[in-house]
Amino acid sequence: MLSPELSWFAVLQSRNLGRRVPNQGKPPVLPPSRKVLYHVVHVPWQSPDDVKELLWRRHAYNNAVISLREVFRQEIRQAEAAGRGLEAMKEEEDAEFNRLIAENDRINREKAKARDIREQTEWKNTQREILSEIEEALQKQQKMAIEASEEVRAAISRSSNFVDKTNLEAKIIEALENPTVYDFAIDRQGNKYYDPKPVKYQEGVPTRQKGRLFDRTLGVTQKTAGEEDEGEKVATKVPFIDAVVCGRSWGNSSIPA
């Protein structure tokens, strides 16, 4: 097994196998060229007026700093003479810091109390809203249960007329004996005019159909085989309107005189 140094060297060698060898530069044993060796950078001289101005500004700044330091030293000496030296200033600063900390603690306690009161109020309001929502949901469920019970009772009451195996024959005979007509005409005012009840048993020779079976013109008497035997049945006269019968519409229908 290779040592860590040999393994690292092998990794470096494997990484550098595909790299091109750089071009040969200048050997380090050779001295620098004359261009580099004898190249001297000459800084341009500043104007004497600028030098004097900068020197005067430097002296003015240093004098101001020295004056401020002397003023601070005099203030410290006066404070020490009056019993308010550095120790007294530190004590005052500590006392002020403690006072500010106590004031901050008092404000934090007041805000904590106000926050507790606000949270309790919000929690009570939330409880009230939740209870109201629960009550509304219960009332809604109760209402739905009542409606479902009524629907079930209505279905049970209607089930007496349902067709089942026991009354199938009777229902078939009843439907054959009492046919129902769903065709009707409707005018522009929305009034419906139903066709007369059809006759189940045709007696005699039926009349030849001259037009479409379900064509109707409002205001014109319609006859059937049974009505021919009973007599002509006069229909109620209605004003001239357009009729729609069995999904068809007829416009400009004329009523015979």
Is 217 exposed, middle or buried (CB count within 10 Å of its CB: 0-12, 13-18, 19+)? middle
Residue 186 sits at φ, ψ, to 5 deg, of -135, 135
Helix orientation angle between 86-158 and 48-81, rounded to the nearest 10 degrees: 90
The pLDDT value recorded for residue 252 is 39
Mean pLDDT per segment of 10 residues, for the chain of length 257 residues? Answer: 60 61 78 85 90 96 96 85 73 91 96 96 95 95 95 90 88 84 84 76 68 56 46 39 40 39
C-alpha distances in angstroms, 243 versus 183, 211, 221, 234, 236?
A: 12, 16, 15, 19, 15
Whole-angstrom distance, CA of residue 128 vs CA of residue 123: 9
The pLDDT value recorded for residue 66 is 96
The pLDDT value recorded for residue 239 is 40
Whole-angstrom distance, CA of residue 37 vs CA of residue 133: 93
Residue ranges covered by each domain of the chain: 46-165
Whole-angstrom distance, CA of residue 75 vs CA of residue 91: 17
CA neighbor of 219 nearest in space, from 245, 203, 239, 199: 239
The pLDDT value recorded for residue 251 is 39
Q: What is the CB neighbour count within 10 angstroms for residue 216?
A: 20
DSSP secondary structure letters along 57-86: HHHHHHHHHHHHHHHHHHHHHHHHHTT--H
The pLDDT value recorded for residue 130 is 96
Alpha carbon dihedral 93, 96, 101, 106, in 10-degree steps, equals 180
The pLDDT value recorded for residue 211 is 56
CA neighbor of 188 nearest in space, from 252, 120, 241, 134: 241
